[in-house]
Chains A and B, each alone.
Chain A
Amino acid sequence: MQQGFMQRALLAGIMVAVLCPTIGLFLVLRRLSMIGDTLAHVSLAGVAGGILAGVYPPVMALSFSVLAVLAIEKLRRTYQHYAELSIAIILSGAVGLAGILLSQKNSASSDLMSYLFGSIVAVNEQDLLILAAVMVIVTVTVAILYQPLFYITWQEEKARLSGLPVSTLNLVLLILAALVIASSLRIVGILLVSSLITLPVAASLQWARSFAHAFWLAQGYALTAVILGLALSYGFDWAPGGTIVLMAVTLLILTLLVKWLIRSWRRHGLSTSA
């Protein structure tokens, strides 16, 4: 039994580690990392609603965040020149809704804590199935649309000129983000999922010279953080979301430190040879 839940947690963790930075790279480079946090809060409202309504919470979180993405796109057209307003509006709405739903007695169950900060024991077969389905959707979509998604991230205006359906691609990207966030929250937790979207990408950008580089490196960072984090979480009985994100932060700090050392060593090397 012990073994079983650890295997499930590891499997879920590996999928989360692949999914989060894959979407994260596009979001960070498009300066949309705020969306990660917003969708996580929307998921919180979804989880609370699910607990109240007796629907499986991750499924409710999934539908809530996809709806939120559609609303963000609609609002973005209304506030064309203030695109970030649409994100702020949905974030406020989600937090408000979550607050009301959570204040209802039967939603404030102990289950909620596991959604907020993630839980190893909570991961069940159903969660693995949802994650696997999202994994297939994201991998296939990104594999097919890799170059167009790179193009709209790098030069949106030129991509539009070359005839690419930029707003549709944008929507596809945001829907993928919604799927990834809602399916990852079981293990990383709502409050920490956006960190796993941004931190490994931030670390990879310190090294990457090519987009492909950044893509694989970010996944490497996330996998390392997840595996170390899960081991710590298992060993010390800490919430896995917390340990995973702390590992991601540690890896980022180490990366910055190494970068800084390399740079000052180079400068020092140059000044002594001069």
Chain B
Amino acid sequence: MIKRIDHPRWRDRNKIQTEPVVELRGVSFAYDDRTVLTDIQLEIYPHDFYGIIGPNGSGKSTLLKLMLGLVTPDAGEVLLWGKPLTENTNRARVGYVPQKATAFNASFPATVAEVVATGRIGRRGLFARPNPQDREIVADCLERVGMADFAHRHIGQLSGGQQQRVFIAQALAGEPELLLLDEPTVGVDSEQQSLFYDLMTHLNHDLGLTIVMVSHDIGVVTERVNKLACVNGRLFYHGEVSLFKDRQTEILSRLYGQVVEVVYHHH
């Protein structure tokens, strides 16, 4: 269902770079008086497929919001491509699919193509009208997520998994270099979920997109990502997945405060 298309716009990003795409230096953050994250130190490198796991309310979404500049740290700093967030004026370099993206007003009059086209606005600028190139990129992105046949369908009438893919196409339409996804597979059946991970792996491997993904499904995510961060107010682990797997039981029991049995899905 998911087609592989190689596009020159993405291909030249496969250059080797050593500077981290995202860097958090001693970041702490509190909502009012409630401390959510303490002293977070992590680097995400180009071409990483980076997973973030942790219990509910552990600060995973907040971590993404810090990277997006939706919230500002109380201590420490957040760097994107080596620059503080405030100096990164080109917002289009980052694509974001928020948590519960599919929980919108289902009767809102909008088609798949109309939604994905909004992903171009950040690249094109406020006053520019859509041109043929924009339309071509929108069609490309829909093709890439396997939703080309649904371009003129009403977004509210699609399944959760299909809507999720539309939102990913919307993010891809901005030709991002970094893609942030917050629990994208919640409410998606296991077949769609497996297709979704195939798509992410394709974007990551073949297009060199740096992907950061929050997930609650430890079993699946550790099979697919190459780096992992375990968060619960502070970092319990961050680094290679292979090293995590060696100490998995110990890390998870500290992370969740109890022994956790990991469920692996095999397809």
Contacts and interface: CB of A to CB of B under 8 A. Distances in A.
A binds B: yes
Interface of A: 29, 144-145, 147-148, 150-151, 154-155, 157-159, 161-165, 205, 208-214
A150 B70 contact: no
A159 B110 contact: no
Contact of B109 (A148, A159, A214): A214
B118 A154 contact: yes
B174 interface: yes
Contacts of B129: 144
Contact of B152 (A145, A150, A210): A210
B117 A147 contact: yes
28 contacts: A147-B121, A147-B130, A151-B121, A154-B108, A154-B110, A154-B118, A155-B104, A158-B118, A161-B70, A161-B96, A162-B119, A162-B122, A163-B89, A163-B92, A164-B121, A205-B107, A205-B109, A208-B109, A209-B111, A209-B153, A209-B154, A210-B109, A210-B111, A210-B114, A210-B152, A211-B109, A211-B114, A214-B109
A161 B126 contact: no
A161 B110 CA distance: 20
Nearest to B105: A29
A161 B119 CA distance: 11
A143 to B, nearest CB: 8
A147 B121 CA distance: 8
A161 B104 CA distance: 18
Contacts of A162: 91-92, 118-119, 121-122, 174
Interface of B: 68, 70, 89, 91-92, 96, 98, 104, 107-111, 114-115, 117-119, 121-122, 126-127, 129-130, 152-154, 174
A145 B124 CA distance: 12
A164 B154 CA distance: 25
Contacts of A205: 107, 109
Contacts of A158: 96, 98, 118
A212 B104 CA distance: 19
B118 A150 contact: yes
A212 B122 CA distance: 21
Contacts of A209: 109, 111, 153-154
Nearest to B129: A144
B114 A165 contact: no
A151 B92 CA distance: 15
A213 B127 contact: no
B204 to A, nearest CB: 22
A163 B109 CA distance: 24
Given A29-B109, A161-B70, A163-B91, 17 more contacts: A29-B108, A144-B127, A150-B110, A150-B114, A151-B121, A154-B108, A154-B118, A157-B98, A158-B98, A162-B92, A162-B119, A163-B89, A164-B121, A209-B109, A210-B110, A210-B114, A214-B109
A159 B117 CA distance: 12
A151 B114 CA distance: 9
A253 B153 CA distance: 26
Contacts of B130: 147
A214 B111 CA distance: 11
Nearest to B112: A210
B156 to A, nearest CB: 9
A135 B104 CA distance: 33
B177 to A, nearest CB: 15
Contact of A151 (B107, B118, B127, B152): B118
Given A148-B126, A162-B174, A211 B110 contact: yes
B126 A165 contact: yes
B93 to A, nearest CB: 11
A213 B121 contact: no
A161 B107 CA distance: 24
